[in-house]
Amino acid sequence: MIILFGGIILSVFLGDGEYRYKVVDNWARLPENWSFMDVAGVAVNSKDEVFVFNRGQHPMIIFDIDGNYLRSWGDDLFSRPHGIHIGPDDYIYCTDDGDHTVKKISPEGKLIFQIGIPGNPAEFMSNLPFHRCTHTALCPDNNIFVSDGYGNACVHKYSPDGKLIKTFGEPGSGPGQFNLVHNIVADDDGWIYVADRENHRIQVFNTEGKYETQWNNLHRPCGLFMPRGKCPVCIVGELGPGLLVNRNYQNLGPRLSILDNNGNLITRLGGENGPGFELGQFLAPHGLAVDTKGSIYVGEVSYTNWPYSFGNEPKPKHLKTLQKLERAFN
On whether the CB atoms of residues 323 and 12 are closer than 8 A, the answer is no
Per-residue confidence (pLDDT) for residue 6, from 0 to 100: 41
In a domain, 197, yes or no: yes
Per-residue confidence (pLDDT) for residue 1, from 0 to 100: 54
Domain that holds residue 199: 24-327
Per-residue confidence (pLDDT) for residue 273, from 0 to 100: 87
> pLDDT band at residue 279, thresholds of 50, 70 and 90?
confident
CATH number at residue 114: 2.120.10.30
pLDDT for residue 231 is more than 70: no
Number of domains in the chain: 1
User: How many helices (H) and strands (E) would you count in the chain?
Assistant: 1, 28
Per-residue confidence (pLDDT) for residue 228, from 0 to 100: 78
In a domain, 196, yes or no: yes
pLDDT tens readout for residues 162-198: 999 999 999 999 999 999 999 999 999 889 999 999 9
Per-residue confidence (pLDDT) for residue 242, from 0 to 100: 87
Per-residue confidence (pLDDT) for residue 2, from 0 to 100: 55
In a domain, 240, yes or no: yes
pLDDT for residue 3 is more than 70: no
Per-residue confidence (pLDDT) for residue 214, from 0 to 100: 98
> pLDDT band at residue 134, thresholds of 50, 70 and 90?
very high
In a domain, 153, yes or no: yes
In a domain, 274, yes or no: yes
- What torsion, rounded to 10 degrees, do the Cα atoms 259, 262, 264, 267 define? -20
On whether the CB atoms of residues 306 and 283 are closer than 8 A, the answer is yes
Per-residue confidence (pLDDT) for residue 317, from 0 to 100: 85
Measure the CA–CA gap between 298 and 285, rounded to whole angstroms.
6
pTM score, whole prediction: 0.95
On whether the CB atoms of residues 328 and 22 are closer than 8 A, the answer is yes
In a domain, 11, yes or no: no
pLDDT tens readout for residues 65-121: 999 999 999 999 999 999 999 999 999 999 999 999 999 999 999 999 999 999 999
Measure the CA–CA gap between 271 and 250, rounded to whole angstroms.
8
Q: Give DSSP secondary structure letters for 94-151.
A: EEETTTTEEEEE-TTS-EEEEES-TT-PPPTTS-SS-SSEEEEEE-TT--EEEEE-SS
pLDDT for residue 7 is more than 60: no
In a domain, 278, yes or no: yes
Q: Give DSSP secondary structure letters for 6-18.
A: TTEEEEEEEEETT
pLDDT for residue 31 is more than 70: yes
pLDDT for residue 327 is more than 60: yes
pLDDT for residue 8 is more than 70: no
b/e map of 25-53 (b: 16 or more CB within 10 Å)?
eebbebeeeeebbbbbbbbbbeeebbbbb
> pLDDT band at residue 291, thresholds of 50, 70 and 90?
very high
> pLDDT band at residue 124, thresholds of 50, 70 and 90?
very high
pLDDT for residue 297 is more than 70: yes
In a domain, 14, yes or no: no
Q: What is the mean pLDDT of the chain?
A: 93
Question: Any idea which of 22-26, 54-58, 160-164, 237-241 has the lowest mean pLDDT?
Answer: 22-26
Kindly tell me the burial class for residue 165, based on how many C-beta atoms sit within 10 Å of its own C-beta (0-12, 13-18, 19 or more): middle
Better-scored residue on pLDDT, 174 or 243: 174
